[in-house]
Chains A and B, each alone.
Chain A
């Protein structure tokens, strides 16, 4: 059995995911509101009300509470001398192994919400794929980015 990876995403990241979930729910809520209004106005069948309300509830529960919790629980990462290992996923747990030699560049990205919470996403690009470690504390993210770029430069392609 392979070891569980060392680092988890900070608890703050979970909050941000929940916040994203709130936005999602809000969007669906507006949509449902419009549909309910139209149903009322044009006398569409009653069951449309229930479907709309159920939809909002389901989206709310899953995207604010359930999915962020599971995702946060699954998401782990480790940056070692020779490789980066990332574990992610919601229903399917993916575990990705990227050798340092393959890393072409590392980016950090930060939107307004992430900035408010002092978080940043790191994306690691190889020649064919891009991998993301989300929701890291900004200083950690910057350090990690610097570390990966140093390690990637040191690693020699001797295979």
Chain B
């Protein structure tokens, strides 16, 4: 066994530093904007000290970040010993972490801009224990060769003991490398057209508009509103068409920005199945590669927001036992956007045991009011208050009753469940239609819920919880017939399986 110690690439010091600076940018900007950009450097000025002190604090913090970045790189070493990946870091408090190769679930990779300039990669080591959203070990920047070496060491160590490895109660043997390569197949790849569609049908257009509005409100004192207003009144003379055109242009720009963001995040999105693992690569500037072992998949969620449902598209999300896929990826998106017709083929390739389309057992007609009745509990006070305080116009708030009842009815129409062998399918809707598919052995607990009013009508709700990240994920089919709910409970009881 090699006892060489390896260091990270020096660039990781800079990356640590920049990462620290990122957190500082927002408070820094706020202080600058609050001061109106006119910081004086003359000690005789009145506001000199109050202006300069935050600046000094910031420069001190910046220097501290710089040094901590360098120290972190300087002290960080990793090596392989006794079938373990061992990591040591820290200047005053030495921290050591030993991870047996057997326990390593997957390696996830990330290449930021700095990484790509130097041909480096960030490696995140994932184990079964890392459910709190953080990987067990992060190697900030190492060369691609070094990353390959780690993966090969792991593979070698696993191969030496050819016996089955028990991971989370599921045993599987690691196959030889040759076999692995032959088993690689591309499950899904997104084309540019798909990405444009993804950007258009996601809510990111709205988010961009809101973001621009938020930024504008931050800088409101620098915007010459009066001037704009004058211009605008003169614009109105040109007529309604120009205003409509302007709004259209604003939406178009927001749409363009969201397309660009989508391209940056999802460019070259590819899902590959290889040796019982799924590998997802994506990203234009920052490349990410995420691996999920198939046996860690707890449940599949097919999510259709109303816009996508209309055009027959859906997104597929995986509930996985390991939670740590980096900061923003709490949920694993398997297919960000796929047409519903093409959806089932790749899914059944990955998970052949599942049945995807089947008739649902739906709530009875008498359950219809239950889907919107509860909303009146908050709507009536809101309407009453609004009508009281803004008398004539406040009455308009009564209009919210209409969409909330319509959404309730829509939820009623969507809700349902199906049992098929060892598989439970629950379909529900908040706004988006969600199809939740899970195997019996992945369900942690099933719960039926019945209020006093539901009891009178002989209906009840049922929900299933699976492990996912820290809190678990729950799917609920509301207001079913009691007999149907009992069917689910009975199916879940072991004695009847």
Contact B444 A83 (CB under 8 A): no
Contact B447 A96 (CB under 8 A): yes
Residues of the B chain whose Cβ atoms lie less than 8 Å from the Cβ of A96: 445-447
Query: In residues 99-118 of chain A, which contact B (Cβ within 8 Å)?
Result: 99-102
Interface assignment of A128: CB less than 8 Å from any CB of chain B: yes
Query: In residues 462-497 of chain B, which contact A (Cβ within 8 Å)?
Result: 465-468, 471-473, 482, 486, 489-490, 492-495, 497
Contact B448 A95 (CB under 8 A): yes
Closest CB-CB distance, B496 to chain A, in whole Å? 10
Residues of the A chain whose Cβ atoms lie less than 8 Å from the Cβ of B445: 96-98, 102, 126, 128-129, 131
Interface assignment of B451: CB less than 8 Å from any CB of chain A: yes
Q: A92-B450, A94-B449, A128-B467 are in contact. Are A102 and B444 (CB under 8 A)?
A: yes
Closest CB-CB distance, A153 to chain B, in whole Å? 13
Closest CB-CB distance, A95 to chain B, in whole Å? 5
Contact B492 A97 (CB under 8 A): yes
Interface assignment of B237: CB less than 8 Å from any CB of chain A: no
Complex-state Cα separation, A81 to B422, whole angstroms: 20
Complex-state Cα separation, A155 to B422, whole angstroms: 18
Complex-state Cα separation, A97 to B424, whole angstroms: 15
Size of interface on A: residues with Cβ below 8 Å to B: 26
Q: Mark B419-451, 1 if CB is under 8 A from A, else 0.
A: 000100000000000000001110111111111
Secondary structure call for the B interface: mixed
Give the 10 A-B residue pairs with the shortest CB-CB distance, closest first.
A128-B472, A159-B441, A82-B494, A127-B467, A126-B444, A128-B467, A128-B444, A96-B447, A95-B448, A92-B451
Complex-state Cα separation, A81 to B494, whole angstroms: 10
Interface size grouping (class) on chain B = 20 to 34
Name 20 interchain pairs, CB-CB below 8 A, sorted by A.
A82-B495, A91-B452, A93-B449, A93-B451, A94-B447, A94-B448, A95-B448, A95-B449, A95-B489, A96-B445, A97-B493, A98-B445, A99-B493, A102-B444, A126-B445, A127-B321, A127-B467, A129-B444, A129-B472, A155-B494
B residues contacting A by CB (< 8 A) are 169, 321, 422, 439-441, 443-452, 455, 465-468, 471-473, 482, 486, 489-490, 492-495, 497
Complex-state Cα separation, A126 to B465, whole angstroms: 10
Residues of the A chain whose Cβ atoms lie less than 8 Å from the Cβ of B486: 1-2
Interface assignment of A157: CB less than 8 Å from any CB of chain B: yes
Closest CB-CB distance, B314 to chain A, in whole Å? 25
Query: A92: nearest residue on chain B (CB-CB)?
Result: B451
Closest CB-CB distance, A154 to chain B, in whole Å? 12
Residues of the B chain whose Cβ atoms lie less than 8 Å from the Cβ of A2: 486, 489-490
> Which one of A1, A92, A99, A126 lies within 8 Å of B494 (CB-CB)?
A99
Contact A127 B449 (CB under 8 A): no
Contact A159 B447 (CB under 8 A): no
Closest CB-CB distance, A35 to chain B, in whole Å? 23
